[in-house]
Chains A and B, each alone.
Chain A
């Protein structure tokens, strides 16, 4: 097996040789950096909350620390599963994915517009308010103001803060897009714009109609709106931002054009038409209009068209790049390749749920959590990991500290995420077979007995992910501290770094980020 990672990382020399791009990077340095840093902070918080929540799902286990967790959850309302789990998911979706997504969107839009960003101060204000909104929302959940509507648990007062912060981002994005230098239109721009357009619609409608002003007497319509919202967040907010990043970075790093690139437009439009209908996967068999469910299953079944094209675009380009260069190339590419593969996997999982009989089997099982983690941890987190490894050195003109830590982060999170997906997916099938058994003697007690070992396995895998994420956060912090030391102490350290002998272990430079 070819080495996946270089054994050394370049210490300096990341500023783009294109002066326009260098000016753009310098203009958005602080807003993007703060976005990414606070996102990593929320990732650590969210992952820890998920480890804790997951360890509560097998209370009969005898590990001493689990006993301590379980006592906490039994005696303090703040630490009960029903508050920690939603808080953890919200920290990941709003704190980690969305904050990082906003940072990526800012950086990509500014870069593709090729004009130095306007009003970085407004962006900084927006980032600070966004983080405040997430913090207030999580506090609200812990204190018992949760609404229990999936991904809309944040109480109204937190929604207003998020809403205000987002409005600044959106205005900035529109201004930047309109002020772009002509001649640089890119499919990635369209993906980012649709994400930025979809989020306020989703969050505005969802938080208003469920949290602050619920429709009177709406009954089951609340569940319909929530399903529309949850799948909208995955397919119209996280997926577009993530795909936009991949469509920009993969050709940039591999210096190959996107394969089958002429079909990318078709993939885009079919995706935004079909993908939101995956919402009906949460409605099959329930007390809802049958027409909506039937139409929705047909529409969401058609997402194989965009998923196949996007897979051909991204996965085949990355594999071609790998073949051409003899190895994956650098520290960024392995993460992006995995992100594209996991996007296809998430598409296949949605495809499975659009088959009515499969949906009936898996609807209420762990498989649904597998599907959620596939979007949040699998696909989107890898996009963000890869992008952070790419972007932060360019913003600071300062290299990562250790190739070994990147390698450890990669392997712990690869094994962690793939195993947790396997455990939750397979456990979901076992649970479904028990819950949907036609023998009336099978009860919920049988089902909880079947899945307990999968819960234990899931806790172990999420702990592995947490270790990887912790190493990543540590590495980022280390890099920043060294960078600050360099800024403070000035040229002495810089000269030390520059005279340090540096030789890459690769024959020909594979990509931008390892070129010194």
Chain B
């Protein structure tokens, strides 16, 4: 059991082994996917993927600070790997302008994430996948209500209530435009209203930016391409 290696030889071996692992696991993916440029959509002036508004980028920080990523993923695996497509997490309305185009159901590709300052792919599905959450909650009012009281939609939900993202204030004059419409149990006393804080507004702007309603062509995906699943009619 006696080691015959000298200190220098030992460290040289550690170094070489770690370097090999580091290269295979971090440097190689980075060379492959670290510099994906956006692409010009054919037939329109769109740049794909769409960039989110500035408020949404602020919302990323709220998403990080309050740890949404510990229960929610933002990645859709292909139909060959898991049932994400069957759960409907990869489905989004085609927003290329054609009203009659069928919904797009596809996995997520590295290029989908290039605008995000920080990516939250997540490792736990305590809650639903959020890659296309804007598709299921198309307006801010619904998201505000859900963040305020998640149990209105799912009685078993393990999602905490995010009431600290809202303030209850006295109505002076006209009620605020973005005051929450709440169930009788949650409603504030008469003469008061619940309104979102700036943090809640940026978080919701971020969530509303999460949708992948565009096609990427095989050579634009960055990794092996899986054709979109045909939408059932």
Interface set of A (CB-CB < 8 Å, partner B): 56-60, 70, 73-77, 80-83, 85-86, 144-150, 177-178, 185-187, 189-190, 193-194, 197-198, 201, 205, 214-215, 217-225, 228, 258, 261-262, 264-265, 272-273, 276-277, 279-280, 282, 284-292, 295-296, 356, 360, 363-365, 368-369, 431, 435-440, 442-445, 447-449, 451-452, 455
- CB pairs A–B below 8 angstroms (5 shown): A60-B156, A76-B164, A219-B36, A261-B1, A437-B86
Q: Give the complex CA separation of A60 and B157 in angstroms.
A: 8
Q: Give the complex CA separation of A387 and B139 in angstroms.
A: 57
Are B156 and A448 in contact, with the CB atoms below 8 A?
yes
Determine which residue in B3, B25, B122, B127 has the highest number of CB atoms from chain A within 10 A of its CB, and name it: B25
Which of B75, B82, B124, B158 has a CB less than 8 Å from the CB of A368? B124
- Interface membership of chain B positions 47-59, coded 1 if the CB is closer than 8 angstroms to chain A and 0 otherwise: 0000000000000
Q: Give the complex CA separation of A149 and B24 in angstroms.
A: 21
At the interface, yes or no: B230 with Cβ under 8 Å from chain A?
A: no
Which of B30, B32, B70, B86 has a CB less than 8 Å from the CB of A85? B70
At the interface, yes or no: B170 with Cβ under 8 Å from chain A?
A: no
Which of A80, A148, A190, A218 has a CB less than 8 Å from the CB of B162? A80
CB distance from B79 to the nearest CB of A (A): 10
Which of A75, A194, A205, A217 has a CB less than 8 Å from the CB of B34? A217
Are B11 and A290 in contact, with the CB atoms below 8 A?
no
**Using Cβ atoms and an 8 Å threshold, which residues of chain B touch A76?**
164
Are B125 and A364 in contact, with the CB atoms below 8 A?
yes
Are A285 and B33 in contact, with the CB atoms below 8 A?
no
Are B87 and A221 in contact, with the CB atoms below 8 A?
no
Beyond A222-B118, A452-B158, 17 additional pairs, beta carbon < 8 A: A74-B163, A75-B163, A85-B67, A144-B66, A146-B65, A187-B1, A201-B18, A205-B22, A221-B30, A221-B33, A288-B110, A363-B123, A364-B124, A436-B82, A440-B86, A448-B158, A449-B156
**Using Cβ atoms and an 8 Å threshold, which residues of chain B touch A81?**
67, 70-71, 160
**Using Cβ atoms and an 8 Å threshold, which residues of chain A touch B14?**
193-194, 197-198, 272
Q: Give the complex CA separation of A15 and B170 in angstroms.
A: 71
Are A186 and B124 in contact, with the CB atoms below 8 A?
no
Question: Which B residue's beta carbon lies closest to that of A225?
Answer: B26
How many A-B contacts if CB must be within 8 Å? 250
Evaluate whether A224 and B161 lie within 8 angstroms (CB atoms) in the complex, with A272-B17, A438-B86 already known.
no
Are B123 and A285 in contact, with the CB atoms below 8 A?
no
Are A198 and B18 in contact, with the CB atoms below 8 A?
yes
Question: Which B residue's beta carbon lies closest to that of A365?
Answer: B125
Are A285 and B34 in contact, with the CB atoms below 8 A?
no
CB distance from B157 to the nearest CB of A (A): 6
Q: Give the complex CA separation of A194 and B7 in angstroms.
A: 11
**Using Cβ atoms and an 8 Å threshold, which residues of chain B touch A287?**
75, 107-110, 112-113, 121, 222-223
CB distance from A187 to the nearest CB of B (A): 5
Evaluate whether A215 and B34 lie within 8 angstroms (CB atoms) in the complex, with A190-B3, A220-B113 already known.
yes
Are A224 and B65 in contact, with the CB atoms below 8 A?
no
Are B162 and A74 in contact, with the CB atoms below 8 A?
yes
Evaluate whether A177 and B64 lie within 8 angstroms (CB atoms) in the complex, with A219-B110, A289-B32, A452-B158 already known.
no
At the interface, yes or no: B40 with Cβ under 8 Å from chain A?
A: no
Q: Give the complex CA separation of A501 and B32 in angstroms.
A: 72
At the interface, yes or no: B39 with Cβ under 8 Å from chain A?
A: no
Q: Give the complex CA separation of A189 and B5 in angstroms.
A: 12
Are A360 and B164 in contact, with the CB atoms below 8 A?
no
